Structure 1
Amino acid sequence: MTQWMDEEAGPVVRPYALIGGRTRSSGDELDLIAMVTATGAVTSSGFVPGPEQERILSLVTTATSVADVASELDLPLGVVRVLLGDLQDHQLISIGRASASERILKEVINGLRAL
């Protein structure tokens, strides 16, 4: 039997174990650039955020993109979307669209072309 170990970190938990083996949630459709913000609400449904969700809540005190959340947590995007979906279902976060003007998008495209 193979043991999942990392010499420096100790036992490694597979990412899907963090989300109870689920692969779908209400967060499945979140764009990478969608902005996540903690609402500061307290849930009364008995939902207790896990450690990763607590970390998300501390990261998104100001609007943060889904991609940045995944990067900060060093977790696969699918796992982060499930965690975010749970938080959204319990109204602990709000999801907004990133706003980018046409001018900014053109500047980005021109910058990429210049590379």
Structure 2
Amino acid sequence: MSRSRDQWFDREAGPLVRPYAMTQGRTRPSGESFDLIAVVAATGEPPGDRLRYSPEHQWILRRCGTPVSVVDLASDVGLPLGVVRVVLGDLRDEGLIRVVATIDRSSERPNLGVLREVLDGLRAL
């Protein structure tokens, strides 16, 4: 591990930059929140002034080059889900990402066959 990396990482405490510092104290994105299974993708618009985006913004924007679900994105970049949602909100506000797929849960009913298979699988355990 490099000397500069050692300065910002404590083996017992983890990263010294806490999530609220990455989001400037915000806990929710502006506008509509992102569902865990929502699929997001970069719009292809070039980011304006790259200096104003944090490394987290840049990592997430690069990862959104191919469509990815919000929960997979959080796992891939190794950031808490709340941080990812706030950063996604920032990128959406700038027109750099968009939600490409969501599930309308109000009209969706579970498939009875799938539920039976899940139940059978749980019983087999």
TM-score by length of 2: 0.70
- The code of the aligned residue for 1:26 comes to S
Cα drift, residue 49 of structure 1: 2.1
- Encode CA deviations 1:26-81: one digit per residue, 9 max, x unaligned: 2652110111101111244x573211111111111111000011111222211111
| 1:63 paired to 2:87 | no
Whole-Å separation in 1 of the counterparts to 2:27 and 2:116: 37
Q: 1:61 to 1:14 in 2, by over 3 A?
A: same
Which segment drifts farther, 23-32 or 65-74? 23-32
- Ranges in structure 2 where 5+ consecutive residues have no aligned partner: 1-7
| 1:112 paired to 2:118 | yes
Q: 1:79 to 1:8 in 2, by over 3 A?
A: same
Q: Is the 8 A contact 2:33 2:89 kept in 1?
A: no
The CA RMSD over aligned residues, in Å, is 3.0
Cα drift, residue 5 of structure 1: 5.0
2:25 to 21, 24, 27: 21
Whole-Å separation in 2 of the counterparts to 1:41 and 1:83: 17
- Aligned-pair identity (%): 50
Which of these two proteins has the greater Rg computed from alpha carbons? 2
- The code of the aligned residue for 2:25 comes to G
Whole-Å separation in 2 of the counterparts to 1:7 and 1:23: 26
| 1:12 paired to 2:16 | yes
- The code of the aligned residue for 1:95 comes to V
Within a 5 Å distance, the mapping from 1:29-68 to structure 2 comes to 29-44=33-48, 46=49, 48-68=52-72
- Ranges in structure 1 where 5+ consecutive residues have no aligned partner: none
Query: Would you say how many aligned residue pairs link Structure 1 and Structure 2?
Result: 109
Question: Aligned with 1:94: secondary structure?
Answer: strand
Q: Is the 8 A contact 2:29 2:90 kept in 1?
A: yes
